[in-house]
């Protein structure tokens, strides 16, 4: 077929996948109307696939004082900094939907300092980008700046752990040259 | 007690942990003679803990054309680049043991270009460090350089995915200011 | 009114502007259905306004072996590298329209290496980004790489001069915190 | 002839230029005793030439609370940061003349922190260099630091817009490998 | 013989060296039990050898308000930043011995922010690393931060001059690919 | 007195200096007509002074296949990269004199790629700047590029060791905010 490749690495046939993985993928397809390419691009390694999505869900679906939109802001801002097309485009769509705001994802991906966010969210993203770029330079003063905005230790962990998880995710997507589904570009606009 | 903290975040009591986590930790303690701090520092988030170690094992324990020592080289080189004391010290110990070489870990952590490794391993670490630092700049030519040294797609994924996993791991350790156990500093020397 | 500011600097009343500037702005409004904010944000300095748009038009409207879509690719790629929301969003819209491609602008803004462009366009953008980031390091070999793809001196000047003009434009937009019109986000999708 | 080239791009014959451009060039030659190479190196593109010099004059000749020497300091400091020989050497000469100070241009080009300037001028150049290097990181606090030194919005625009204009100018000079006239090296010493 | 080379440049025969150099080397060997490779790797240039070690001793052996362990911390932290295996490994051993602390050298080499040092030593190393990486950006405020921790001008000179001396030393070691003696890896552990 | 300070650190009285240092300084003054400030700014530490100038002379005065002008080019190019006003201005003067070329020092300080030098000298300065900025990344291929231009090991050592020595020198000058003598600015123009 003539479609552009969605990964540099092999994409297994859906029916050849372990049952649990196949089921999850079909459930996502049912809900979204399409299969986001990340579910296919990681499937050549079932154990890594399971751990990856379990980790993703543990961070992104848990009860947290961060809203789901705020968590997607962290994903989009750090993925922009890492030059990762898959994560900016796919999570940009999710951010537009979660925030019910068609402009926010592009703003956050390009330059969070100019985005339509609150000062508290600005501090949150400043920290997420430090985890993304210079985690070795994190000092106690950085956490104090978060606490001054009302983030407790649990929220601080969420900010940092989401930035860390997508540090991995962005690298896997850039390693495999993972292609965002065309559908994501317009969702939520 | 007067011992230095092993994390900025809370360390749960071992007996309060879910049974599966407690069991794995006790098994590690039994085998190593001590509990590596990463097992405790992540335990305040059981679901993340499970996903993290499942992912770690899937990459580091699987059958691969990369030796276990080579995989640890990737960890140590990228963790050095990320300024992550826990991972350099802990995986430095494992590298010394796996490679049966007391000098290699320090060499790889400081500057892999001067390390006692083969030209093939040098190319492997060059790529791992590109995934670590500039994954957005990965191009087909980078993969060709690996193929020229005999790495197949499966091995290339392993190199990149290990570098990506420790991009996450280093950030979690720097976020939490995770302290390496004293025992690691001298193991395998 | 409660609308967000479009610039840190004063926005003159349209009717208080010199006749030539007012006329051009009304003509643009007539054609586009709205006034792109850059026309207002620079208007507090009429002489600079005139020179800026004259320079813009001289580069972007002239007969050139670069297509208009290719010229917009240069704008979007370098503006992404400079973290300039106004230029990425506004020229992203123009790129989508010029290229009749709803996906291209986001791809080029995030990481041109993964965009749906030809190898020749990839070399064009590699050079534009060198002008953008490290113009001091330009050497004859860089121009040779362009010539090998069939770009002649006139086209090379266009690539470099567009990247240079938007180096200025991005800085003016970031200086003034210029806000993209909401309309641009969805044009051409 | 054996003189070194003044540009990688074609230099039109003076008599073949449009009348307005030729006149301006002859007037400059009359006044300075020589033709600064930038007037010739851009002349292969008459419309761009006109816009470029109109913009230059609008910024550098206007009434401003910045002295002409201060404006040249901005040019020299940012051109030094951009590694642009033409602009450092040519505007270094103008700065020496405007400031009636034979040492200042070299000081500002190499490291403005050590230059014989006032604390207010130091803050001005700190900001100009942020526009030059990291305009995406400009925040309101940066403008406050300028206001604390007595710069009003009009002066702040001048600082930023001059830095932005020479971001373009430096890139055109580096693109074309524009050669400074020998005369500039000693003027004003 | 099959030992790895200790330098890219020639190593003179010990007996062919000028008497003063030979004597010093034999005295070091007597005291340490082996000849640190730096004494041999620089010996092909006797005048440079003499100046280098005279400068080293003047800084590292003088009476100073900095302890000898603190001076070695500066060496190890800056050598880590410069990716210099010889200096990290050799001076890491000396630091372990001087500080009677088997963990400190690895901590300081990887990330001084997480090392078991006092806040005053942390400020000392922050400054040493600024001298190492961005000496052009040193401003009076940096010295004030040191004075606030009780460092007087004499101590500040020592910090800066040791960082400067090892900026040279690291470059000579990296130029020559100088190999640390195996003995250093375990000394003081 | 109203003269600007030549250093942040104390300047000893000439007559209070050890005889050998005083003699050398008076000899330089006799020859040059003034005392270059570096001789005074380092004199508060006589042992370091002696080692510093001995090392300087060993490198800069020795018989070498590099001309004295070429050695000064290395000093000026690397000092420009390090933002060191003293070394750029003082050694710029010496370079003009050694090369009998009034333009060369400014060219090399701003951007050696555009300087009036031979291709062989260009390769020499490329390597010197790698020693200056990224000595950890030096690989055998870098030395091969020098050998291809006819530099032997002795010349390669000179290039690298001069770049290394001025890595130290630039840091000492930036540490002390060492002021270039006014005389240097015009010497050799």
Report how far residue C91's alpha carbon sits from residue A38's, in angstroms, rounded to the nearest whole number.
Answer: 29
Q: Do E and A share at least 3 CB pairs under 8 Å?
A: yes
pLDDT band per the 50, 70, 90 thresholds, residue A1: very low
Residues C59/C158, Cβ–Cβ less than 8 Å? yes
Binary contact (C51, D54; C-beta < 8 A): yes
Chain E residues 7-66 within an 8 A CB cutoff of chain F: 8-10, 44-45, 47-48, 50-52, 54-55, 57-59, 62
Would you say residue F34 has pLDDT above 80? yes
Residue C108 to residue C120: CA distance in whole angstroms: 14
Cβ–Cβ < 8 Å for E156, E65: no
Q: What is the residue-averaged pLDDT of chain E?
A: 97
| Cα-Cα-Cα-Cα dihedral sign, residues B67, B71, B74, B77 | negative
Nearest-Cα residue of chain D relative to residue E138: D113
Are the beta carbons of D76 and D166 closer than 8 angstroms? no
Q: What does the pLDDT average to over F90-111?
A: 98
- Tell the residue number behind the tokens 């295996």, with chain if given: E85
pLDDT, position E2: 57
Tens-digit pLDDT profile for residues D30-57: 999 999 999 999 999 999 999 999 999 9
Nearest to C75 by CA among C59, C89, C91: C91
The pLDDT of D66-72, averaged and rounded, is 98
Residue in B55, B58, B168 closest to A164 by CB: B168
Do the Cβ atoms of C72 and C98 come closer than 8 Å? yes
Band (D2; pLDDT cuts 50, 70, 90): low
Q: What is the pLDDT, as a whole number, of residue B1? A: 42
How far does CA A93 lie from the centroid of its chain? Answer: 10
Judged on CB neighbours under 10 Å (0-12, 13-18, 19+), C180 is buried
Nearest chain B alpha carbon to F135: B111
- Find the residue in D nearest to F107 (Cα): D85
Terminal CA-CA length for chain B = 30
Least CA distance to C4: which residue of chain A? A116
Do F and C touch, 3+ Cβ pairs within 8 Å? The answer is: yes
Band (pLDDT 50/70/90 cuts) for residue C2 is: low
Q: How far apart are CA B125 and CA B103, in angstroms?
A: 17
* DSSP secondary structure code for residue B82 in this structure: T
**How sure is the predictor about F2, in pLDDT bands with cuts at 50, 70 and 90?**
low
> Per-residue confidence at C116, pLDDT binned at 50, 70, 90?
very high
- Which residues in chain B have Cβ-Cβ distances shorter than 8 Å to C111? 136
CA distance to E29, E64, E96, E113, F46, per residue, from E68 (Å) = 21, 8, 11, 20, 20
Q: Is A111 on the interface with D (CB under 8 A)?
A: yes
Decide if E73 contacts E126 (C-beta within 8 A).
Answer: no
Taking CB atoms and an 8 Å limit, are C102 and A186 in contact across chains? yes
Q: In angstroms, rounded to a whole number, what is the distance separating the alpha carbons of residues E115 and E117? A: 6
Q: Which DSSP string do the residues of F138-152 spell out, in sequence order?
A: --HHHHHHHHHTT--
Residue C20: what pLDDT? 98
Q: Tell me how many residue pairs between chain A and chain D have CB atoms under 8 A apart.
A: 4
- Please classify residue A33 by burial: count the beta carbons closer than 10 Å to its beta carbon, then call 0-12 exposed, 13-18 middle and 19+ buried: exposed
Task: Report the percentage of chain A scoring pLDDT > 90.
Answer: 98
DSSP for residue D150: T
Chain F interface includes E170 (CB < 8 A): yes
Q: Specify the residue for token string 């079909």.
A: A26
Q: What is the Cβ-side half-sphere exposure of residue A91, based on CA atoms within 13 angstroms?
A: 28
> With contact defined as beta carbons under 8 Å apart, do F102 and F188 qualify?
yes
C-alpha span between F164 and F157 (Å, rounded): 10
- Tokens representing B161 are 């995915």
**Min Cα separation C114/chain B (Å):** 9
- Count of CB contacts below 8 A, E vs F? 125
Cβ-based contacts of C113 with chain B (< 8 Å): 136-137, 139
Give average pLDDT by consecutive 10-residue segment, chain B, 189 residues: 84 97 98 97 98 98 97 98 98 98 98 98 98 98 98 98 98 98 97
Q: How many helices (H) and strands (E) does chain F have?
A: 9, 0
In the structure encoding, which two tokens stand for residue E15, read together?
Answer: 């007996």
* Mean pLDDT rounded to a whole number for chain A: 97
Q: How many CA atoms within 13 Å lie on the side-chain side of D139?
A: 9
Q: What element of type H or E holds E60?
A: helix E46-60
pLDDT of amino acid A3: 76
Cα-based distances in Å from B107 to B95, D124, E18, F138:
11, 45, 33, 16
D15 pLDDT more than 80? yes
CA distance C32 to C54: 19
Q: Tokens representing D9?
A: 């791009």
Residue E1 has pLDDT above 70, yes or no: no
pTM for the model = 0.97
Alpha-helical regions (H) of A100-150: 104-110, 119-134, 140-147
Contact A106 C83 (CB under 8 A): no
Instruction: Give long-range contacts, CB 8 A cutoff, 24+ apart: A47-50.
Output: A47/B54, A47/B57, A47/B58, A47/B62, A48/B55, A48/B58, A48/B59, A48/B161, A49/A21, A50/A20, A50/A21, A50/B54
Beta-carbon count within 10 A of B129 CB:
17
pLDDT at A2: 57
Assess contact for C41 and C178: CB atoms under 8 A. Answer: yes
E15-45 per-position pLDDT tens digit? 999 999 999 999 999 999 999 999 999 999 9
Phi and psi (nearest 5°) for A5? -65, 145
What six digits make up the tokens of D140? 């309101």
Residues A90-108 have a mean pLDDT of 98
Chain CA centroid to CA C159, Å:
12
Location of structure tokens 């507090």: C44
What pLDDT score does A4 carry?
Answer: 87
Contact C110 A114 (CB under 8 A): no
Chain C CB contacts of B136 below 8 Å: 111, 113
Nearest to E172 by CA among F161, A172, F34: F161
Local confidence band at D179 (pLDDT 50, 70, 90 cut-offs) = very high
C19: exposed, middle or buried (C-beta count within 10 Å: 0-12, 13-18, 19+)?
Answer: exposed
Q: Mean of the pLDDT values across residues E132-151?
A: 98
């Amino acid at each position: 077929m003539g479609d552009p490749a969605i990964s540099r690495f092999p994409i297994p046939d859906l029916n050849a996948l372990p049952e649990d993985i196949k089921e999850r993928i079909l459930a996502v397809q049912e809900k979204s109307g399409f299969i986001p390419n990340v579910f296919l691009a990681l499937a050549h390694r079932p154990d890594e696939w399971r751990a990856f999505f379990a980790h993703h869900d543990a961070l992104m679906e848990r009860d947290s004082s961060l809203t789901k939109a705020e968590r997607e802001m962290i994903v989009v801002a750090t993925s922009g900094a890492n030059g990762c097309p898959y994560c900016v485009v796919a999570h940009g769509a999710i951010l537009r939907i979660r925030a019910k705001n068609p402009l926010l994802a592009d703003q956050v991906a390009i330059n969070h300092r100019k985005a339509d966010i609150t000062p508290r969210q600005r501090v949150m993203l400043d920290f997420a980008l430090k985890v993304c770029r210079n985690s070795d330079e994190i000092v106690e003063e950085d956490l104090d700046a978060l606490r001054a905005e009302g983030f407790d230790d649990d929220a601080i962990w969420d900010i940092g752990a989401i930035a860390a998880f997508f540090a991995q995710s962005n690298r896997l997507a850039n390693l495999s040259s993972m292609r965002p589904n065309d559908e994501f570009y317009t969702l939520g606009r």
